[in-house]
Chain A
Amino acid sequence: MTRERLRVVFLSALIGLAFVLAWQAFAGTKPAGKGIPGPLAVGATAWQMLADPFYDNGPNDKGIGLQLAASLGRLALGYLSASAMAVMLGVTLGLSPLLYRAINPYVQVLKPVSPLAWMPLFLYTIKDSGQSAILVIFMSSLWPTLANTAFGVASIKRDYLNVASILQLSWSRRLVTVILPAAAPAIVAGLRISVGSAWVAIVAAEMLIGGTGIGYFVWNEWNNLALTSVIFAILAIGLIGVLLDAGLARLSRRLAYTE
């Protein structure tokens, strides 16, 4: 097993190295300032940015740490409120086949809508770009959790619910001790998909609203033609995405159970 793992790590590092070398070779064929910047140039920019990630020189010049923090703050607000609502609604639908079937067509229609399509409507109704962006995150992270929770609750083994009704557990106790733990693996799977799509949506939303955030940063650096910063931001976005997913993967392992 460890040997197998070592081989994976080795191969992975080899592929990465090969890519970086090819990239550098390709970038080196163009004179400086033209074409795609190479990994060395990106590395230099990264070094510079990470040296002082939290500086603030006014609206168009903030450190990448501040920008990421702004994005993560929006993500937290939109994602957490959407998740709370999705779980509550999902439990309700999962417990009532009738309601589930009655509401499902609407969910199916709303689910494939890009969360950004809601943006004009939010801007028009609440007239605040910051809150609109948070609502876009809300919309992007609602459906996967809702669908998974409803499915997870609907497929809870009859036996567990039978035990709960024999013990005459109160509604709240039944929810906390039986329904949520039983459906937890499905719910967390939904939360994992949701956090991914929320993180994808936030970059686009911030490009539209401007001001702060990693999405705005990418667009701003593009306007400055600072492609090294754009590439570094892409890497940073990917890395944060991995961390978010890893956190939920950990939660999922903790809540998993074998029958």
Chain B
Amino acid sequence: MTVSFLEIDHVAKHFPAPDGGAEVCVFRDVAFSLEQGEFVTMVGHSGCGKSTLLNIIAGLERASAGGVVLEGREVTRPGIDRMVVFQNFSLMPWMTVFENIRLAVRAAYPSWDRRRIAGHVQRYVDMVGLTGAERKLPAALSGGMRQRVGLARAFSTAPKLLLLDEPFAQIDALTRGLIQDELIRMWSAGRNTVFMVTHDVDEAILLSDRVALMTRGPDARLAEIVDVSIARPRVRTALIEDPEYLRLRTHILRFLVEGGRVTTGEGRRGGDEIRGFETPLASLTSQA
């Protein structure tokens, strides 16, 4: 058996209860893997712990059980090989666009001289269409422009793994599409391995090779991983008429609406558990 590029090995996360009682389990037994160059998205309701899982992969939080292994090495702390694009952008507000990206480039390439760093930063500024806004502070930018800086900062370091934590959630719908296209372009150029978390089903299908579905939290589990076998490059306008896209969309939405309970394993919580996904897609999906 070959070891995958990224192994999520039966990870669980517990939080101490606010009243000091028994620990609350956010999710447990989450196990899947990513191959190099793959784009995998996790979809689930708020509270299923998907952002927590992303933070565990980033090394910003510790798993309560299980572990994350990247290229054969266990993740124990944050590192520049795993860049995160945050939902709230997390740009340094006292730094200009250029300085924000330069901070990352400098950290990623400590041996480069000033000019080489500046040239590299400028390339990524141009790539996300922010030419001319280099000297602006984040506060002077719209949400969409800020996230472009976030993407440029993440891509500019050529990380082994890109972690996108609901990167488009705070961006208006029209801009979101544009930036998603930019993300696709940058990802196609470098073929970074990407793990994204979202609750936008369309976004998940548009961008991903596979979509991982989490059940409702607390005590959430990974229910299944759906393959998205729509050929790339995917064009948004053509996609909405693609029967494959529609089937996937229906399947995932139904999963989310119907409560998203696991169909396997011991019966938990009795009543609200649903059995199977009676959609024509059943053959397409692979049980995790």
Q: Closest CB of chain A to B48's CB: distance in Å?
A: 21
Interface SS of B by simple majority: loop
Q: Closest CB of chain A to B90's CB: distance in Å?
A: 4
Binary interface encoding of chain B residues 57-101 relative to chain A, with 1 for a CB under 8 A from any of its CBs, else 0: 011100000000000000001111011101010101111000000
Q: Closest CB of chain B to A153's CB: distance in Å?
A: 15
B108: nearest residue on chain A (CB-CB)? A167
Q: Which of A163, A182, A255, A258 has the most CB of B within 10 A?
A: A163
Does A181 count as interface, using CB distance less than 8 angstroms? yes
Question: In the complex, what distance in Å separates the CA atom of A167 from the CA atom of B82?
Answer: 9
Q: Are B103 and A177 in contact (CB under 8 A)?
A: yes
Partner of B107, one of A169, A182, A184, A259: A169
A259: nearest residue on chain B (CB-CB)? B93
- Residues on the A chain within 8 Å of B59, using CB: 165-166
- Residues on the B chain within 8 Å of A167, using CB: 80, 103-104, 107-108
Q: Are A165 and B78 in contact (CB under 8 A)?
A: yes
Does B137 count as interface, using CB distance less than 8 angstroms? yes
Question: In the complex, what distance in Å separates the CA atom of A168 from the CA atom of B83?
Answer: 11
Interface SS of A by simple majority: helix
Does B178 count as interface, using CB distance less than 8 angstroms? no
Partner of A166, one of B78, B92, B139: B78
Question: In the complex, what distance in Å separates the CA atom of A163 from the CA atom of B90?
Answer: 7
- Residues on the B chain within 8 Å of A182, using CB: 92, 94
- Residues on the B chain within 8 Å of A258, using CB: 93, 137, 139
Q: Which of A162, A167, A169, A182 has the most CB of B within 10 A?
A: A167
Does A160 count as interface, using CB distance less than 8 angstroms? yes
Q: Closest CB of chain B to A174's CB: distance in Å?
A: 10
B83: nearest residue on chain A (CB-CB)? A166
Question: In the complex, what distance in Å separates the CA atom of A168 from the CA atom of B81?
Answer: 10
Q: Are A160 and B92 in contact (CB under 8 A)?
A: yes
Does A159 count as interface, using CB distance less than 8 angstroms? yes
Known: A159-B86, A259-B139. A165 touches B94 (CB 8 A): no
Q: Closest CB of chain B to A150's CB: distance in Å?
A: 20
Binary interface encoding of chain B residues 102-120 relative to chain A, with 1 for a CB under 8 A from any of its CBs, else 0: 0110011000000000000
Partner of A168, one of B88, B90, B94, B107: B107
Q: Which of A166, A182, A184, A258 has the most CB of B within 10 A?
A: A166
Q: Are A159 and B78 in contact (CB under 8 A)?
A: no
Chain A 230-259 interface residues, beta-carbon cutoff 8 Å to B: 255, 257-259
Question: In the complex, what distance in Å separates the CA atom of A177 from the CA atom of B139?
Answer: 18
Does A178 count as interface, using CB distance less than 8 angstroms? yes
- Residues on the B chain within 8 Å of A184, using CB: 94
Known: A257-B94, A257-B139, A259-B93. A168 touches B86 (CB 8 A): no
Q: Closest CB of chain A to B142's CB: distance in Å?
A: 14
Question: In the complex, what distance in Å separates the CA atom of A160 from the CA atom of B92?
Answer: 7
Q: Which of B107, B108, B137, B139 has the most CB of A within 10 A?
A: B107
Partner of B92, one of A163, A165, A168, A255: A163
B153: nearest residue on chain A (CB-CB)? A163
Q: Are B137 and A165 in contact (CB under 8 A)?
A: no
A157: nearest residue on chain B (CB-CB)? B90
Known: A162-B60, A257-B94. A168 touches B80 (CB 8 A): yes
Known: A160-B92, A257-B93. A168 touches B137 (CB 8 A): no
Q: Closest CB of chain A to B269's CB: distance in Å?
A: 33
Binary interface encoding of chain A residues 177-189 relative to chain B, with 1 for a CB under 8 A from any of its CBs, else 0: 1100110100000
Q: Are B103 and A162 in contact (CB under 8 A)?
A: no
Known: A159-B86, A257-B139. A168 touches B93 (CB 8 A): no
B104: nearest residue on chain A (CB-CB)? A167
- Residues on the A chain within 8 Å of B95, using CB: 177, 181
Q: Closest CB of chain A to B157's CB: distance in Å?
A: 8
B107: nearest residue on chain A (CB-CB)? A167
Question: In the complex, what distance in Å separates the CA atom of A163 from the CA atom of B93?
Answer: 13
Q: Are B58 and A166 in contact (CB under 8 A)?
A: yes
Known: A167-B80, A168-B78, A169-B107. 8 other contacts (CB 8 A): A162-B60, A162-B84, A166-B60, A168-B107, A178-B92, A182-B92, A257-B137, A258-B93
What 4 A-B pairs have minimum CB-CB distances, sorted nearest first? A167-B107, A159-B90, A258-B139, A257-B94
10 of the cross-chain contacts (CB-CB < 8 Å) are: A159-B88, A162-B60, A163-B90, A165-B60, A167-B103, A167-B107, A178-B92, A255-B94, A257-B94, A258-B139
